[in-house]
Amino acid sequence: MELLEQHPIGKILPPMSKDERSSLRDDLVAKGQQVPIVKFEGMVLDGWRRYRLCIEEKIEPKFVDYVALTRSVL
């Protein structure tokens, strides 16, 4: 599997604490990935921590592509 990079926009979030990371990992292992990871421009926009934990735990990550909705003004 090709490893993805984190989108620069996603880097604005602060890192998780060790306890938060451990809790997320335990939940991911017990229940599987519940929320898809959002990709934009071929990079991970949202869900970077879930993505990294999926890779570490050898869980196939689930993705959704970000699609910007636009409305034409007449």
Q: What order do you get walking across the sheet with 63-65 strand by strand?
A: 43-46, 37-40, 63-65
Task: Tell me, yes or no, whether 71 lies in a domain.
Answer: no
Q: What is the mean pLDDT of residues 46-50?
A: 95
pLDDT (0 to 100) of residue 15? 87
Task: Tell me, yes or no, whether 43 lies in a domain.
Answer: yes
Residue in 40, 32, 53, 54 with CA at minimum distance from that of residue 6: 40
Task: Tell me, yes or no, whether 53 lies in a domain.
Answer: yes
Domain extent, residue 49, equals: 8-65
Q: How confident is the model at residue 70 (pLDDT cuts 50, 70, 90)?
A: low
Percent of the chain with pLDDT over 90: 80
55 Cβ contact partners less than 8 Å away, ≥ 6 residues apart: 1, 3, 61
Question: pTM, whole model, 2 decimals?
Answer: 0.84
Q: How confident is the model at residue 2 (pLDDT cuts 50, 70, 90)?
A: confident
Task: Tell me, yes or no, whether 46 lies in a domain.
Answer: yes
